[in-house]
Structure formats: C-alpha cells, structure tokens
Structure 1
Amino acid sequence: MTGSSVVTRVVGACLRDARERRMMWPEQSADALGITVLALLALEEGTRRATPHDFDVLTGLYRCPGTPALRRLLDQPPDTHGVLNDREPGHARRLGACVASAGHIRWQSTTLLPGPLQTPHYALAVAEPPANRPGAPQPPARSAQYVLDQRIIQRGSKTARLMAGQLHHLLQLADTGTDIRIIPGTGPLTQPAGHLIELHLPGGTVWARPTEGAVAYSTSALFADTITASLARTSTAGTREALKRAASAHHDAPAERTTL
C-alpha cells in the first residue's frame, strides 16, 4: 500500500527511530522483511504504509517499547478535520521520534520553553515531559528554529535565579548557532497557549500540538502561516537584547521570589 498521510509519516518516523536506537542498518531490516532497501526506507518515510506483517516483523526485530500503542495508532484514522490524536501511552516518546526524524523543525511556544532548550533544572521545575529520545540529552538541532513569546522568559521557574541560569543557557545556545527568536509580548498571543511544532519529515510536513496527555498531528498548512507571521515580528538583535534584559532582571531579583 502506498500514499503518504499523517498516520504513515508519524508511524514511519517511530519505526526509523526504533531501528536507529538498535543501531541497525536499513539493509538488515529490509532483509528481515524480504524487501528492497528502497521499500524499507519508504516505510520509514511514510510514503508506504506498513502492512500488519511488516509492522510485526520490524517491531519484534527492534524490541520496540509501546508496540501495542503504536499499532493502535497505525490503525487509527484521522478525524474529520484530518487530525491524528495520539492519546496512547508513550505519546511523548513518539513525538521525540518525529523530532529526531525531521530534517527541519520550526517550534513556536507561548507558555513554556521547548524541551530541547531546557536545562535539567528548568525541566525539573516545570515537570514537562521532554520530546527527546531515551538516553543522553541531545543538543538542539542546527536545523531547528525556535520562536518564543517574550512572556515565557519574563517568568521564573521555581525561582528567579533558576530562570536566570536558564536564560544564560539560551544565550550560549544562540552564540553557538541555535536559531532562537523572541516575539515581543505586547500583543495577543498568535496561537492558543502551548507548543506548535512544524516537522519536515521525509514523507512530508506534519504539524504537532502537544497537550497534557496527548499529541495532535495534522498536515494542515495553516499552522505554517501562524509561525511565519510570528517570525516576521522578530529579529536576531531584538532577541539577544530581550534575553539579556530578562537574565539580568532575574539574576538581580530577591532569592525568595517565586514566579510559577
């Protein structure tokens, strides 16, 4: 079966992620299925739908965590608006697989810093499940762009000093090439509160909206316009100044101040 869809793109990214974590070459997986490497890569790109046999062989070969949940996702059609709602256990891990498989990412956030930008102390303070693969923390991808509302960096985590350290971390990331943009927080939010992630997967672009207990995936290009409009309100110089001002304000704040 062929044809790229939001379901096949997400499941394909998860299968590729599982293979890479097992440190297996595509040739090994293709041999196990009795197909060509190109056909195997098409499964991982989401341009070919995995059959039940394909799925069972690959997940058994990779010893995939959360295989039943991934199988239910494969069999779940998008809703009438074309949205695939992943409410299954392990949804954060599957989002992490999509993030790892994306050739380019645009990440807009209006409430909390995205997982790839968080220090361990910030992550602990906000108790947000990271969208990362298991194992050692991965540095932010050079192909990623992060668009943050200014009100995020004006808040603390559990203390203002903790947020000051987080902001110095953001400045260091910016100095080493991570594309971080701050939207001036003077107008209404350009999207509902939360994260909006544009993932350029091999089989096509998918937009993800993580919420508490679920991730909604869509192929609607309307989200691209939202991110592009927000980017138009930013500048590299303005971003650095905003980060420096916020870091200085948090660093100088009384130690007992809490802002979350």
Structure 2
Amino acid sequence: MPGPKDLDPSSSPRALLGAELRHARERKGLSQESLGLKLFVSGTFVGQLEAGTRRLRPDMAPLIDEALETDGFFERNCSAAAKSRYEDHFAEAAEAEGQATVIRQYAPLLIPGLLQTPAYAQAVNRAYDPTATEETIEEWTEGRMERVRLLGHPTKPVLWTVLDEAALRRVTGGRAVMAEALHHIANLARQNRVIVQVLPFSAGAHPAMRGALKLMEFEDAPPLVYYEGVGTGRLEDDPATVVQQRFRFDLLVASALSREKSLVLIEELAQDYTHEEHP
C-alpha cells in the first residue's frame, strides 16, 4: 500500500497533517490516549493535533513516525505545517483562533487584534519596535488585518470581548486614530457581530488584574486558554485550568457594564476624541 504523500505547503498544511495523523492512528488501531502515552502527551493534545488547533513540534514528529510506522512522513512535513507569518510565541494561538467557534477575551491595556483598525494596529506595532523599518511595520500590520478578516463571516466565530476602560482611554496613535478605532468597535457591536462590554475603573479590583485572558472553543476539539505577555505566549489545554479561567471570565462579565451602557461609553469617548476634547 503506498504511503501518504508529502504535504503541499500552500494548502492548509496543518489541517492536512492532522487528517493524516488521524488516519495513521486509526490504521494502527490506537486511541488518542494510547498514542498520547507513546508521545508523552495527553490524548486531548493528540486530538488537538488531529483537529489542527495545535502545532506539531519538530521533536515530536519522529516519535509519531516511529509509533505509527509512517516512514518519516511527519518528520518531513512538520516544517511545512509550522510555517507562519506570526511570531513563534503567537503563531499557534493565531491559527487556533482561526478555527475557533467561540472566542472570549479580556483586554486590559489595548484594543485586541481582532477589533483593531489598520491605523491602530500600525501604531501598536510601531510602539512595540520603534526602530523597525517601515516595510516590517507594514508586514506586521498586514498580518494583524489578516486576522481581522475572521469577522467577515456573519456569525462565526462568536467574539465576546471585555475591554478594560484603560484600553479605551490610552491614546494610541493619536486622537483621530482612537476615534476611528472606537467607532469601528461600536459599529461592530451595533451590527450584532460582536459582544463588547467595558470593565470600568469604578469596578475596582477584579479577578484578571494580572493580565490578558483569551478562551477559545472549537467544534471538534477541546477548548483552549491563551496567556500572553511581552514577547511571550502560551496555550493551555488542561481541563481544570480552562474551567477556572472560564469562571474568571464570567466574573469579569458580571463586573462589567451592560452591553448597552458599554456601547454608550465607547461612542461618547469616540466623540470626545473626534472633537479633541479631553475625555
């Protein structure tokens, strides 16, 4: 029987690699848990590899080839599946984001990527690296806008964002850029494309004061939590951790303004920026 063909890097290599992994595992008569034991990972992680929501690490590919007797297929194709225009610490999260059916996120300091305008994204990227070339900044901004295209679908993914008031009041890129950015968020909310709530300063201490939070749910894979810091990021699939962070997000929602009051505040701030009044 001929073995699997090497993957074409131009055709969603991670999804194809996941499909090949499922096929090879089932051909060997192994469950996800059984294969996970051979790879020193959980069965849940194997399921996420098969669904394409997690990246196959180069050190794991030879183990898979050995366990499934696939004649080096996964080692040869691992690099094709790993190619991404995003930084290494964010690439896996960005690709998982593209397959998520529901995304819940708390943004403490800036408007998150999926809600950014090109001008806002450019200002953020320039702040990240003041010495980068214009070509580099443009490339980063294009990558951010590519993620924004997820919202081009009328209903998927469901995006529920809790914005800290600090993210709305930190003038990023100038007042005109902020006015455009907040009008953009308000328009998405009024079109019922996203759910947006504002966590006001008056809420005081809250359960996510240590940083940003993102939870992602999928149609055929377990949910994930993504933690992000300066130049670093980590995906977590531990069920207990996911439940804990979902509870934390629910507490944030309970402390935030209602959708209606949040929209009023966002639009008021947008008008303030438009008229160059001090918020």
**Both structures adopt the same fold (TM-score exceeding 0.5):** yes
Choose 50-59 or 178-187, whichever is displaced more: 50-59
Quote how far apart the aligned CAs of 1:245 are: 0.9
Residues 59, 97 of structure 1: CA spacing in aligned structure 2 closer, same or farther, 3 A cutoff?
farther
Report whether the alignment pairs 1:214 with 2:236: no
Contact 2:17 2:81 in 1 (8 A): no
Distance (whole Å) between structure 2 residues aligned to residue 57 and residue 180 of structure 1:
44
CA distance in 2, matches of 1:28, 1:227: 33
Opposite residue 246 of structure 1, the aligned amino acid is L
Q: Is the 8 A contact 2:118 2:145 kept in 1?
A: no
8 Å contact kept, 1:109–1:149 = yes
1:138 — aligned with what? 149
Partners in 1 of 2:75 and 2:174 — Cα distance?
43
SS state at 1:147 partner: strand
How far, CA to CA, are the matches of 2:272 and 2:172 in structure 1? 14
Task: Verify the 8 A CA contact 1:112 1:194 in the aligned structure 2.
Answer: no
- Write the distance in 1 (CA, Å) between the matches of 2:187 and 2:224: 29
Match of 2:268 among 234, 245, 251: 245
Structure 1: which 5+ residue stretches go unaligned? 1-17, 68-88
The answer on 1:227 being equivalent to 2:249 is yes
Distance in 2 (CA, whole Å) between partners of 1:30 and 1:94 is 18
Q: Which residue of 2 aligns with 1:116?
A: 114
Q: Percent identity?
A: 18
1:110 offset after TM fit, Å? 0.7
Q: TM-score, normalised by structure 1?
A: 0.67
Query: Aligned pair in 2 of structure 1 residues 211, 31: CA closer, same or farther (>3 Å)?
Result: closer
Q: What is the identity, as a one-letter code, of the residue corresponding to 1:144?
A: L
* Partner in structure 2 of residue 83 of structure 1: none
**TM-score, length of structure 2 as denominator length:** 0.63
Q: Does the CA contact (< 8 Å) of 1:32 and 1:57 recur in 2?
A: no
Indicate how the Cα distance of structure 1 residues 57 and 26 shifts in structure 2: closer, same or farther if over 3 A, else same.
Answer: closer
Does the 8 A contact of 2:165 with 2:199 survive in 1? yes
Contact 1:103-1:200 at 8 Å conserved across structures: yes
Whole-angstrom distance in 2 between the partners of 1:100 and 1:59: 25
Q: Is 2:89–2:234's contact at 8 Å kept on the other side of the alignment?
A: no
- 1:98-155 deviations in whole A, cap 9, x for unaligned? 212322111111111111111111111112678x789574233441211111221122
Distance 2:83 2:177 in 1: 35
Output the amino acid matched with 2:245.
F
How has the CA–CA distance of structure 1 residues 189 and 154 changed in structure 2, closer, same or farther, with 3 Å as cutoff?
A: farther
Q: 2:81 aligns with which of 38, 42, 64?
A: 64
Mapping 1:32-43, distance limit 5 Å: 33=24, 35=26, 42=47, 43=49
Is the radius of gyration larger for structure 1 or structure 2? 2
Report the Cα distance in structure 2 between the residues aligned to 1:195 and 1:252, rounded to whole angstroms: 31
Letter in 2 for 1:165: E
Per-residue displacement from partner, 1:185-240 (whole Å, max 9, x unpaired)? 21235313542001124432221111112113333122112110111133111111
Q: 1:29 to 1:243 in 2, by over 3 A?
A: same
Whichever structure has more helix as a proportion of its residues is 2
Question: Which amino acid in structure 2 is aligned with residue 97 of structure 1?
Answer: E
**Count of residue pairs brought into register by the alignment:** 217
